[in-house]
Amino acid sequence: MNHSKPDKPNDSSHPLDAIRERCPSKDRKTLDRLFRLFCIATASFTILILMVLLVSIVGQGVTSINWNFLTHYPEPDPAQAGIGPALWGTIWLCVTCGVIALPIGVATAIFLEEFKPTHKLLRFFHAFIQLNISNLAGVPSVVYGILGLTLFASMGGWFGSTNEPTFEVGVRYFDQFYSAGDRALLVPVEAGDPPTIATLDMKALTSDREWVTANVVKSRRDIPRDPEARAFAIVEGKQAGRISKPSWYYMRLPFGRGVLAGALTMMLVILPIVIISSQEAIRGVPNSLREAGLGLGSTRWQVVWNITLPASIPGIMTGAILAMSRAIGEAAPVLIIAGVVFITSNPSNLMDNFTVLPLQIFNWSGRPQHEFRDLAAGGILVLLCILFAFNAAAVLIRQLTQKRLS
């Protein structure tokens, strides 16, 4: 009997043999080395360009940064101009946008990944929503600005106009008189009341919130000469000017061109980024962890809350960094919503008018004076510091969660 072993398959039939024949070992190592050098050169060139830009901006703008620059409002005189309202407007906008967008984005990602429907029709809608979220990530931000102006600022005209809201809470209205002694006297009124006219025995509030009785005289010739009496003297028939004093919790419908409308518009810009990055982070959690939780008798929501979500927080924070980085640098949606650059006061509630640093930087960079370009460089440095602060907070949260899970 022939006990010879069967012939082994010819090694030359392996798919990689053709590549080995065309590209010997020495040539492959050379190509690998060249490709590695090309990657290093490309990365080094990119970093070099970034460093040149940063050094140029720091050299041009660091001399402009001082306390007056950070707290004062913009002025025609570059020596007195500051970024106070734009700085606080940026902080208000980014914090409000993050508080709204991150929970909604993460909740949407959890629903799409962890609670997938089983019915055929529901699966179709699930795929349709997923496709639209992916497409929305590439929509220009100016489109979101137009959408936010219609949907949030004016609400399609369903709740009145931006100047005459239908519903308000947290605001008081006053009719303001100026006495002969140039002292402001305030008469509390309702929003729809006609303007107050000075009459006898009129009660009013001073700037110190003290009730006084205004000294109403017949004509200007009857105004007393005593300074204390002149402080409360008003000519009869004088018409007041209507002012409002909102509280920190002031809300209205429609929202108008305030911080909340801008934050909701910016939420639309970054929401696709948050959802997609959160989905990728949730997909990265091993299924064995989910199966172990379900095997112990946990419900699906308990598995998500106690296992899946904590394990995916590092990846979610990475997406949050990218999203907030885009929100801080966006100017087109804010320009459509706010429509103003020169503001002399900081926002005090979510309905206040606002501006942001990118708009102020753009305004200064277009001025012909060299001093304003230095101010624009200083504004860029402050904007980068805010961006680094948000990123540092996200990185800290990511590192703490990684240590806890490990």
Task: Please tell me what DSSP assigns to residue 200.
Answer: T
Q: What's the number of CA atoms in the CB half-sphere (13 Å) around residue 114?
A: 28
The partner residues of 185 in beta bridges, in order of sequence, read 177
* pLDDT on residue 239: 78
- pLDDT confidence of residue 99: 93
Per DSSP, 368 falls in state: S
- pLDDT, position 119: 82
Using DSSP's 3-state secondary structure scheme, residue 311 falls into helix
162-188: b (≥16 Cβ within 10 Å) or e = beebeeeeebebbbebebbeebebbbe
pLDDT at 20: 57
Q: What are phi and psi of 338, to 5 degrees?
A: -75, -50
d(CA 255, CA 260): 7
Cβ atoms of residues 336 and 142 within 8 Å: yes
Distance CA 147, CA 261 (A): 11
Give all strands of the β-sheet with 167-178 in edge-to-edge order: 211-213, 203-205, 184-189, 167-178, 241-253
pTM given for the model = 0.82
In sequence order, what DSSP letters do the residues of 248-265 get, joined into one string?
A: EEEEEES--SSHHHHHHH
Provide φ and ψ at 238, rounded to 5°: -70, 140
- Chunked into runs of 10 residues, the chain (406 residues) has average pLDDT values of 50 55 70 90 93 89 90 88 91 93 94 87 87 86 90 82 83 86 84 78 76 80 78 80 89 91 93 92 90 89 91 87 86 83 86 91 87 91 88 80 59
At position 112, the amino acid (one-letter code) is L
202 within 8 A of 213, measured Cβ to Cβ: yes
Which DSSP state fits 240? Answer: P
The pLDDT of residue 332 is: 86
Give the residue extent of every domain in the chain: 67-158+256-405, 167-253
Question: Residue 13: what pLDDT?
Answer: 54
Q: How far, in Å, CA of 87 to CA of 236, rounded?
A: 45
Give, in degrees to the nearest 5, the angle at Cα 134 between 386 and 256: 55
pLDDT score recorded for residue 402: 67
| Amino acid 23: pLDDT | 60
Question: Which of 3.10.180.10, 3.65.10.10, 1.10.3720.10, 3.40.190.10 is the CATH number of 67-158+256-405?
Answer: 1.10.3720.10
- Is the Cβ–Cβ distance between 261 and 152 less than 8 Å? yes
